[in-house]
């Protein structure tokens, strides 16, 4: 690949990072002008070993050619990445490649403006400085040597060399290129703001706006991993000393009648049996995905209520420390898991519900004294024994029963004879439910106005017995 067409600076070390940090701060604060073109791009990557996906991002102050007082605007760009062989080093290297390519685009944009301002006969060459900051020491060392044993990383290195060489073909421009190492995970006062933003944006691009892990494990032909996780969570009974809650959700929809329903089942810390609700919903914009998404939102709302109750029960215990808890939601809607992972979808109503889901999920972190780890897990639905997850089957039946009645009801679970055959029966009394939960109408108000609106009816509780 030949030598890298620029200078690679690996300043400082773990014991003396001030030089590298100060160089990054100075570059980030420098204002590029029409006569002094200097661009500094900060690159960051994020990778999850647990989910095996990643992302990368770049941030820089983008100059506005011709603007008064050398005005500039902050520009951000992030991309999601997944695939075999992905790791944290490759995510960081992809960020470097994106930065080098963006550097060329920016310089071409600036030069196009300058060439329009030139008078006839003015053909002098403009000098510019381009800097890229990264905390990946490994990648800078590979760029210095020009070789790497990992074939995927080697291919991306080759693309980085090509992108760097292309900077020198911009007409009427002479570019001095620098790659600079920047120490990572420093305390706040030693972290350049733009570098912190690049890492944060990369993390958000990987995780999505959903404040937790979204795990889509297994598939229909090999569902054992997903089923095993769900069965373990179902068997766990939460206590005040081990605050782990698992919610199982499912939706049901009838296209002809535009009616739907969903069910949510979970174990409460102060109840000997499982608890569940069946909710009836209707609306012209209703789809099966929307029913499933409403079930996830309901589970997150109930999760916050349950954690709040548990923290109230712990009120007499030692104060002043943060209690850690884990909340899991199991759904068989792979499409909704994907939508919530990436944070985007085409349907307007579903998009608004996705935003509402993010808001409710973030509210979990507002319970005083509690830090909640959150997981949304895919689980296969309607599986035969021994792959059946009973709590999810009950959520399915609750949702179907609520849809069929079109009036949300309280349900019970009954054991018939010696067999483990369980049926649903109506319960006349609602006192237990109303003593614990308040009546809820709608989802943060109407989802939208007009024929696309969705009505969520009153939800009543089902208690295992």
Q: Which of 422, 421, 464, 465 is nearest to 277 (CA)?
A: 464
Is the distance from CB of 146 to CB of 56 less than 8 angstroms?
Answer: no
Rounded to a whole number, what is the distance in angstroms from the first to the last CA of the chain? 71
Q: Which class for 346: exposed (0-12), middle (13-18), buried (19 or more C-beta within 10 A)?
A: exposed
- Model confidence pLDDT, tens digit, residues 216-228: 865 445 578 888 8
- Tokens 């208690």 locate to 463
pTM here?
A: 0.53
For residue 141, what are its two tokens?
């060392």
- Model confidence pLDDT, tens digit, residues 256-270: 777 888 999 999 888
Q: Which of 128, 133, 258 is nearest to 198 (CA)?
A: 133
What's the CA gap between 111 and 126, in Å, rounded?
9
Three-class secondary structure of residue 169 per DSSP: helix
Q: Which class for 453: exposed (0-12), middle (13-18), buried (19 or more C-beta within 10 A)?
A: middle
Which segments of the chain have a pLDDT < 70?
A: 1-2, 11-16, 50-51, 119-122, 185-190, 204, 207-209, 217-222, 318-321, 346, 405-465
The full set of domains in the chain, from first to last, is 7-207 (3.30.420.10), 213-464 (3.30.420.10)
């Amino acid at each position: 690949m030949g030598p890298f067409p620029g200078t690679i600076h690996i300043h400082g070390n773990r014991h003396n990072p001030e030089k590298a940090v100060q160089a990054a701060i100075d570059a980030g604060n420098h204002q590029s002008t029409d006569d002094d073109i200097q661009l500094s791009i900060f690159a960051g990557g994020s990778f999850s070993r647990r989910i095996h996906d990643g992302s990368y991002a770049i941030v820089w102050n983008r100059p506005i050619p011709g603007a008064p007082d050398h005005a500039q605007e902050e520009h951000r760009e992030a991309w999601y990445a997944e695939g075999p062989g992905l790791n944290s080093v490759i995510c960081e290297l992809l960020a470097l490649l994106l930065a080098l390519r963006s550097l060329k685009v920016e310089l071409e944009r600036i030069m196009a403006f300058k060439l329009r301002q030139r008078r006839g006969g003015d053909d002098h060459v403009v000098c510019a400085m381009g800097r890229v900051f990264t905390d990946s020491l490994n990648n800078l060392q590979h760029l210095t040597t020009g070789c790497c044993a990992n074939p995927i990383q080697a291919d991306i290195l080759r693309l980085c060399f090509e992108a760097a060489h292309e900077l020198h073909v911009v007409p009427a421009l002479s570019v001095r290129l620098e790659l600079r190492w920047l120490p990572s995970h420093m305390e706040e006062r030693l972290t350049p703001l733009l570098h912190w933003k690049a890492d944060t944006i990369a993390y958000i691009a990987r995780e999505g706006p959903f404040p937790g892990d979204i795990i889509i494990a297994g598939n229909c032909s090999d569902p054992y991993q997903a089923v095993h996780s769900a069965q373990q969570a179902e068997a766990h009974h939460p206590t005040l000393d081990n605050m782990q809650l698992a919610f199982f959700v499912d939706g049901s929809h009838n296209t002809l009648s535009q009616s739907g329903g969903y069910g949510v089942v979970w174990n409460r810390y102060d109840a000997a049996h499982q608890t569940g609700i069946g909710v009836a919903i209707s609306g012209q914009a209703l789809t099966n995905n929307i029913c499933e998404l409403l079930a996830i939102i309901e589970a997150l709302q109930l999760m916050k209520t349950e954690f709040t109750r548990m923290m109230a029960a712990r009120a007499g215990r030692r104060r002043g420390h943060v209690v850690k808890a884990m909340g899991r939601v199991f759904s068989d809607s792979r499409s909704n898991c994907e939508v919530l992972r990436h944070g985007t979808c085409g349907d307007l109503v579903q998009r608004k519900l996705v935003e509402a889901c993010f808001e409710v999920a973030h509210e979990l972190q507002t319970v005083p004294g509690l830090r909640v780890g959150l997981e949304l897990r895919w689980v296969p639905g309607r599986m035969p024994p021994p792959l059946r997850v009973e709590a999810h089957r009950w959520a399915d039946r609750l949702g179907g029963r609520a849809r069929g009645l079109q009036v949300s009801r309280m349900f019970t679970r009954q054991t018939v004879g010696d067999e483990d055959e369980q049926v649903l029966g109506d319960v006349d009394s609602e006192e237990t439910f109303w003593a614990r939960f308040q009546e809820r109408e709608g989802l943060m108000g109407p989802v939208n106005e007009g024929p696309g609106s969705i009505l969520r009816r009153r939800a009543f509780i089902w208690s295992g017995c």
